[in-house]
C-alpha cells in the first residue's frame, strides 16, 4: 500500500482539496467524494452575527470521513495568521494548520519572512504546520528547519490555473526535502497534477481547478486519477529523454528487404 | 453593555459584567460547538465558555469554518 504520512497521520489519498468557490454545497460534496481526498481545507472567518439563517459549512462535511485542515487564507501578517490558526484549532478538532501569510493582493504570493516567523511561533505552540510557500528551495529549507511538518510550494499563483511554472525548482526542492512535499496552488488541469507527482511531490493541494471547472465532479475524478497516475509514473521511473528516435519494433526481418 | 463584536460596536442586553461567553452565544443564537471565540485577543478553550465573563468594552471575535478560499479578508488587529 502506497501510503502518505504527514506528522503522525497516515493517508492513502495524495490529493488534498479545498471548499471554496463551489456553486453549491451539494456540488462540493459530490466533488469531494469523486476526488477521493481524505484531507479538506477550510477557511476561518467571522460568524455573520446579523444573519444567522445561513447554513454552516460543517452541515455539509462529514468530519468522521474527512480530516479538516483549517487554513489562514487571507492573512497578511504573521500575527493575524497565528491568531487565525489558534481560532481554527478551537473551532476544529486538531492542531493542524495550513499556514498562509499573503504578501500581496494581486499575486497572493506568500510573504516568506512573515511565514517563517509564523511557522516558528506555531511550532513552538505545538501546531502541525503546513506552510504554503514560494517555490524557493532556500525558503523551503528554512521552513523545514523551523519545524514545518510538510512544505507546500506553489506551482503557480493561487487560482491561476497556469500549471507548474518552475519545474526545476520543484526538482531541487524534492532532492533535499525530508518532510512531505505538497504542491499547493496553480494547478489548472489533470496533467498539471500528474506532472507535480511525476516530479516526486508527495501530494497535491488544489481548490479552484476543481471548484471552478465546468463540471467540478468530473474534474475531481480526473484529478484523483491524475495524482495516482503521476505517483505511479514517479515510482515506476521514467525513461531518459533522447534527442532522436529509437525504434520499438525489431529492425530485422522486415518484408521486402 | 457595549462590546466590540466581530469588529463592530454592539449593544448587548443582559446583566452587567456577569454574562458568560456561553450566555452571549446563546443570546446571539450561535451554536457554541461550531465556533471559536477570541476575547480581547486571547482564544478561549471551548470548555471555558461557561466560566469566562464578557465585560463592558471587551473585544469579542466569533469565527467558524467557511469554504476557503483566498478571499481578501482580514481579522482586524486594531481594537
Look up residue B55 and give its three cell numbers. Answer: 465585560
| CATH T-level fold of B2-63 | Ubiquitin-like (UB roll) (3.10.20)
Q: How many CB atoms neighbour CB B12 within 10 A?
A: 18
Q: Which residue of B has its CA nearest to A86?
A: B43
Tens-digit pLDDT profile for residues A2-49 = 899 999 999 999 999 999 989 888 999 999 999 999 999 999 888 888
Cβ neighbours, 10 Å, residue A5: 13
DSSP secondary structure letters along A115-135: HHHHHHHHHHTT-EEEEEE-S
Say what the pLDDT of residue B75 is. 44
Establish if A92 touches chain B: CB-CB under 8 angstroms: yes
B1 has pLDDT over 50: yes
Catalytic residue flag (residue A30): no
Query: Which grid cell sits at A192?
Result: 498539471
Domain boundaries, given as residue ranges, for chain A:
4-236
Q: Which residue has the cell 504578501?
A: A103
Domain boundaries, chain B: 2-63
Model confidence at A121: pLDDT above 90: yes
Cell of A119: 511557522
More confident residue, A236 or A91: A236
C-alpha grid cell for residue A101? 501569510
Q: Could you tell me the maximum CA-CA distance found in chain B, to the nearest angstrom?
A: 40
Q: What is the model's pLDDT at position B37?
A: 94
CATH architecture of A4-236: Alpha-Beta Barrel (3.20)
Query: CA of B44, closest CA in chain A: separation in Å?
Result: 8
Instruction: State the pLDDT at residue A16.
Output: 96
Catalytic-role residue among A30, A54, A98, A242: A98
- The residue ranges of DSSP E strands in chain B, in sequence order, are 2-5, 8-11, 19-20, 36-39, 42-43, 53-54, 59-66
Amino acid at each position: 500500500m502506497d501510503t502518505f504520512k504527514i506528522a503522525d497521520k497516515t493517508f492513502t489519498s495524495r490529493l488534498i482539496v479545498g471548499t471554496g468557490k463551489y456553486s453549491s454545497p451539494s456540488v462540493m460534496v459530490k466533488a469531494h467524494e469523486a476526488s477521493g481526498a481524505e484531507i479538506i481545507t477550510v477557511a476561518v472567518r467571522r460568524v455573520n452575527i446579523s444573519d444567522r439563517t445561513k447554513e454552516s459549512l460543517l452541515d455539509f462535511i462529514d468530519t468522521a470521513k474527512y480530516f479538516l485542515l483549517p487554513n489562514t487564507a487571507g492573512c497578511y501578517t504573521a500575527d493575524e495568521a497565528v491568531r487565525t490558526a489558534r481560532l481554527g484549532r478551537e473551532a476544529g478538532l486538531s492542531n493542524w494548520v495550513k499556514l498562509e501569510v499573503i504578501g500581496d493582493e494581486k499575486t497572493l504570493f506568500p510573504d516568506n519572512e512573515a511565514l517563517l516567523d509564523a511557522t516558528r511561533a506555531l511550532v513552538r505552540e505545538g501546531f502541525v504546520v503546513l506552510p504554503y510557500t514560494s517555490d524557493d528551495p532556500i525558503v523551503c529549507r528554512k521552513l523545514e528547519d523551523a519545524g514545518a511538518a510538510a512544505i507546500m510550494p506553489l506551482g503557480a499563483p493561487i487560482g491561476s490555473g497556469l500549471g507548474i511554472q518552475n519545474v526545476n525548482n520543484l526538482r531541487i526542492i524534492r532532492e533535499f526535502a525530508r518532510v512531505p512535499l505538497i504542491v499547493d496552488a496553480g494547478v489548472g488541469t489533470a496533467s498539471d497534477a500528474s506532472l507535480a507527482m511525476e516530479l516526486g511531490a508527495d501530494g497535491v493541494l488544489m481548490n479552484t481547478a476543481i471548484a471552478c471547472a465546468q463540471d467540478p465532479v468530473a474534474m475531481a475524478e480526473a484529478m484523483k486519477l491524475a495524482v495516482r497516475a503521476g505517483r505511479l509514473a514517479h515510482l515506476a521511473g521514467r525513461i531518459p529523454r533522447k534527442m532522436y528516435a529509437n525504434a520499438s519494433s525489431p529492425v530485422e526481418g522486415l518484408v521486402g528487404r | 453593555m457595549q462590546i466590540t463584536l466581530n469588529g463592530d460596536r454592539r449593544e448587548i442586553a443582559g446583566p452587567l459584567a456577569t454574562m458568560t461567553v456561553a450566555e452571549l452565544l446563546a443570546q446571539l443564537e450561535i451554536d457554541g460547538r461550531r465556533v471559536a471565540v477570541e476575547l480581547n485577543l486571547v482564544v478561549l478553550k471551548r470548555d471555558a465558555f461557561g466560566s469566562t465573563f464578557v465585560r463592558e468594552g471587551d473585544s469579542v471575535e466569533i469565527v467558524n469554518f467557511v469554504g476557503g478560499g483566498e478571499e481578501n479578508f482580514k481579522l482586524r488587529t486594531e481594537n
